[in-house]
């Protein structure tokens, strides 16, 4: 039930507010924030489906989070919808690039429940209400200027921001791009190996450094002749000398 170190505003607003008396005070409706310093001050809940009565809670009244409930302590401040709509906010503001062209919409906020400091905004390219859309993280330091309904940056596009959550389409494109790069790298590797194998000398090519002197030339001149059949082969010269000696001693010749 302890508060997390970081919390998404959408996770807070989707919970029912329950006070210390155990009474339900309605679901979260909208955020109460101070845009110049990028800080969340609190949020408002709607105690009834009918009427314009709203309950405003300070962030330090938040005591714990359950799966479907936000536990608060103390009494809220009462207001109405028309008054709350006049509070400044950056949510649903258009995000502009360095050419002042819209590239997305601020759809959510990640903040610290203990201090209210906004760590980053979540940017959506399409309608933030569409489920499963991609989200990019925009840190407050990258905001150049802010005006009602507009946030100016020096970005060239959403690709300059880190991706916080990818949609099914975005994840498919990212995986396809990674698979294509892997196939290309594998093809280049096998191509380099094939080129290296083709540049090697044939298996039957003689090695001049290991070929005895004169053998390649003799074999080229007399195909089929073996070196031991040549007259200059040491054993062949010995056999020839012994044969000539026996012929000279034979009286019948």
What pLDDT, on a 0 to 100 scale, did the predictor assign at position 233? 54
pTM listed for this prediction: 0.65
Last-in-domain residue among 167, 196, 223: 167
Q: For the chain, give the percent of residues with pLDDT over 70.
A: 66
Residue pair 123/12 in contact by the 8 Å Cβ criterion? no
d(CA 107, CA 137): 10
Q: Give domain status of residue 1, yes or no.
A: no
Reported confidence tier of residue 242, pLDDT bands at 50, 70, 90: low
For position 118, which CATH number holds?
A: 2.30.30.240
What integer is the mean pLDDT of 91-99?
95
Residues 73 and 105 in one domain: no
Last-in-domain residue among 117, 138, 167: 167
Residues 129 and 67 in one domain: no
User: pLDDT of 126-146, one tens digit each?
Assistant: 777 776 788 999 999 999 999
Reported confidence tier of residue 229, pLDDT bands at 50, 70, 90: low
What integer is the mean pLDDT of 210-220?
50
* Beta strand residue intervals within 84-204, DSSP E: 94-96, 102-111, 118-124, 135-138, 143-147, 150-153, 163-165
Upper half-sphere CA count for residue 12 (Cβ side, 13 Å): 31
The domain of 123 spans: 94-167
Q: Give domain status of residue 232, yes or no.
A: no
What pLDDT, on a 0 to 100 scale, did the predictor assign at position 63? 94
User: pLDDT of 4-52, one tens digit each?
Assistant: 999 999 999 999 999 999 999 999 999 999 999 999 999 999 999 888 8
Q: What is residue 117's DSSP assignment?
A: B
Number of domains, the chain: 2
Residue pair 151/94 in contact by the 8 Å Cβ criterion? yes
């Amino acid at each position: 039930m302890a508060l997390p170190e970081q919390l998404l505003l959408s996770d807070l607003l989707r919970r029912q507010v329950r006070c210390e008396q155990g009474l339900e005070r309605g679901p979260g409706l909208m955020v109460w924030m101070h845009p110049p310093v990028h800080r969340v001050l609190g949020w408002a809940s709607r105690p009834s489906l009918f009427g314009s009565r709203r309950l405003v809670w300070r962030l330090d009244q938040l005591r714990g989070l359950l799966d479907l409930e936000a536990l608060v302590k103390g009494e809220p401040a009462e207001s109405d919808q028309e008054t709350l709509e006049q509070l400044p906010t950056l949510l649903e503001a258009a995000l502009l690039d360095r050419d002042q062209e819209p590239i997305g919409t601020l759809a959510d906020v990640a903040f610290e429940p203990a201090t209210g400091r906004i760590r980053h905004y979540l940017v959506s390219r399409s309608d933030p209400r569409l489920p499963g859309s991609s989200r990019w993280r925009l840190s407050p330091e990258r905001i150049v200027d802010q005006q009602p309904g507009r946030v100016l940056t020096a970005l060239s596009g959403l690709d300059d921001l880190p991706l916080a959550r990818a949609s099914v389409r975005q994840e498919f494109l990212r995986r396809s791009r990674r698979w294509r790069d892997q196939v290309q790298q594998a093809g280049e590797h096998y191509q380099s190996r094939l080129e290296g194998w083709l540049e090697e000398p044939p298996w039957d090519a003689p090695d001049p450094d290991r070929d005895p002197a004169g053998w390649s030339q003799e074999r080229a001149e007399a195909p089929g002749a073996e070196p031991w059949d040549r007259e200059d082969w040491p054993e062949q010269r010995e056999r020839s000398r012994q044969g000539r000696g026996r012929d000279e001693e034979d009286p019948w010749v």
